[in-house]
């Protein structure tokens, strides 16, 4: 039987999904970037897999009289797996801990870069004026990712590498409409 993690509860008895969640706030939608953002880490990690076998191959050709044993090969391959995991882990961690949260009050963008750099963008839903998306090029079309463009009172917010941007945009617009947020014009100055 699988164990489920119990979430902390707010004063109103609602589940608390993230640390900065207000007591009267409800999480409506959570999404993250497409896994394609991990491609560099995957390539570097794959090269890390070659370290042990290539080292064993070099020893085989340089020490013809005393080639490495199969035990040495397997141990070097285990070391290669560890190296590969260490090389890939930062990319996975940046992808996994970078998340976009839409609550009934605000939009939160949490971006993790490496181990020690985290940035948070927090804006009220009322600040969002327009939500659009763009899928540009063959790679984005085939792999199903694109860019979400949010126009706000503060400026434009571009979110690249979003999985299924059309569905995400539609869901964001549904949430904005359900919360009573409509596109409004900027207040005009009186001359």
pLDDT 10s digits, 35-70 = 999 999 999 999 999 999 999 999 989 988 888 888
pLDDT at 26 over 60: yes
Burial class (CB in 10 A: 0-12, 13-18, 19+), 40: exposed
Q: What is the pLDDT of residues 71-101, one digit of tens each?
A: 999 999 999 999 999 999 999 999 999 999 9
Q: Return the pLDDT at 188.
A: 44
This prediction has a pTM of 0.77
**pLDDT-derived band at 12, boundaries 50, 70, 90:** low
153-182 pLDDT, tens digit per residue, is 888 889 999 999 999 999 999 999 888 877
Predicted confidence band of residue 186 (pLDDT cuts 50, 70, 90): very low
Q: What is the DSSP string of the chain?
A: ----PPPPB-TTS-B--STT--TT--EEEEE-B-GGGGHHHHHHHHHHHTHHHHHHHHHHHH-SSSPPPHHHHHHHHHHHHHHHHHHHHHHHHHHHT-EEEEESSEEEEEEEETTTEEEEEEEEGGGEEEEEEE--SHHHHHHTEEEEEEEESS-EEEEEEEESHHHHHHHHHHHHHHTT----PPPPPP-
The side-by-side arrangement of strands in the sheet containing 99-103 is: 27-31, 99-103, 106-113, 117-124
Assess whether pLDDT exceeds 60 at residue 2.
Answer: no
Please give the residue that has the higher pLDDT: either 184 or 80.
Answer: 80
The pLDDT of residue 10 is 54
User: Percent of the chain having pLDDT more than 70?
Assistant: 88
């Amino acid at each position: 039987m699988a164990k489920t993690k119990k979430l902390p509860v707010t004063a109103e008895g609602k589940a608390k999904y993230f640390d900065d969640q207000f007591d009267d706030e409800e999480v409506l939608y959570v999404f993250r970037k497409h896994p394609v953002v991990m491609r560099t880490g995957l390539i570097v990690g794959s090269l890390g897999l070659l370290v042990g076998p290539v080292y064993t191959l070099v020893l085989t050709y340089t020490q013809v009289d005393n080639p490495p044993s199969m035990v040495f090969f397997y141990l070097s391959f285990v070391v290669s797996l560890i190296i590969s995991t260490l090389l890939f882990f930062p990319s996975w961690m940046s992808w996994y801990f970078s998340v976009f949260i839409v609550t009934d009050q605000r939009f939160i963008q949490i971006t993790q870069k490496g181990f020690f750099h985290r940035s948070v963008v927090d804006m009220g839903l009322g600040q969002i004026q327009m939500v659009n998306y763009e899928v540009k090029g063959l790679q984005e079309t085939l792999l199903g990712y694109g860019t979400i463009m949010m126009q706000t009172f503060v400026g434009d917010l571009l979110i690249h590498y979003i999985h299924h941007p059309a569905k995400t945009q539609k869901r964001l617009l549904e949430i904005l409409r359900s919360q009573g947020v409509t596109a409004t014009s900027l207040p005009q100055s009186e001359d």
